[in-house]
Amino acid sequence: GDSVTQMEGPVTLSEEAFLTINCTYTATGYPSLFWYVQYPGEGLQLLLKATKADDKGSNKGFEATYRKETTSFHLEKGSVQVSDSAVYFCALCNQAGTALIFGKGTTLSVSS
Amino acid sequence: SQTIHQWPATLVQPVGSPLSLECTVEGTSNPNLYWYRQAAGRGLQLLFYSIGIDQISSEVPQNLSASRPQDRQFILSSKKLLLSDSGFYLCAWSVMGHNQPQHFGDGTRLSIL
């Protein structure tokens, strides 16, 4: 079945460091891919999305490119801030289009 | 614009007591609706989804149930809570159609004593 695998956390970085959070997926067909962010005690917020191969989603300095050949959707940011500390979830839409399948989440902690 | 409301924000219940969590969406019609549970340190588990009034699918067997009495109202219930029901419950909505993003409420923190 469809699945999403994210790198294990926590990821600990200093402010202004470069961020990469790896995400790979297994799916039938060409699902849309998403990154969500969850700040402490809150629900999930959609961060960015890509709907087809080679699409690049971007928002708030974060980027991710839909790579069909490597079935990946890695999240990157050139210079992280303390306010980026949160849990990041990679997700894809299931084949039926009825629900999202989430990775287990990666905790990012940024220190000043 | 569309908004989603969940309540209560936090809830402490004894084992064996009933449960009712409510979720409402404003600003859209015929949304798909979802209930997820997030256990501590783990990812999200889809519990129920609904594509219309009284059309609800359950993803995992459990002592929870869901109902959709109105187009934009989604209720999560239990007759008798278990300790294992503790967790963070999230409601979400999306527009109908494939590959649509979901939009989440702020969640309910449920603690069972």
- Scan residues 37-66 of B and list those with Cβ closer than 8 Å to A: 42-44, 46, 49, 51, 57, 59
For every residue of B30-81, DSSP letters joined together read S-EEEEEEE-TTS-EEEEEEEEETTEEEESS-SSEEEEEEETTEEEEEESS-
Mean pLDDT of chain A: 93
Nearest CA in chain B to A5: B43
Sign of CA dihedral B7, A93, B31, B79: negative
Q: Is residue B40 predicted with pLDDT exceeding 80?
A: no
Residue B28 scores a pLDDT above 80:
yes
A31 closest CB neighbour out of B92, B99, B105:
B99
| Range from A36-40, B8-12, B20-24, B61-65 carrying the lowest mean pLDDT | B61-65
A99 contacts A111 by C-beta, under 8 angstroms: no
What is residue B68's predicted lDDT score, i.e. its pLDDT? Answer: 96
Could B43 and A104 be called an inter-chain contact, meaning their C-beta atoms sit closer than 8 Å?
yes
pLDDT given for residue B37 in this prediction: 93
CA distance A17 to chain B (A): 25
Q: What is the pLDDT of residues A11-27, one digit of tens each?
A: 999 999 999 999 999 99
Q: In whole numbers, what is the pLDDT of chain B averaged over residues?
A: 91
Q: What is the pLDDT of residues B72-86, one digit of tens each?
A: 999 999 999 999 999
User: Quick check: B39 pLDDT over 70?
Assistant: yes
Given a cut of 80, is residue B6 above it in pLDDT? yes
Contact between chains at B102 and A105 (C-beta distance less than 8 A):
no
In angstroms, rounded to a whole number, what is the distance separating the alpha carbons of residues B98 and A96? 7
Q: Helices (DSSP H) in chain A: which residue ranges?
A: none
For residue B59, the chain A residue with the least C-alpha distance is: A99
pLDDT band at B41 (very low <50, low <70, confident <90, very high): low
- Residues A108, A8 contacting (CB under 8 angstroms): no
B1 touches chain A (CB under 8 A): no
pLDDT interval class at A99 (50, 70, 90): confident
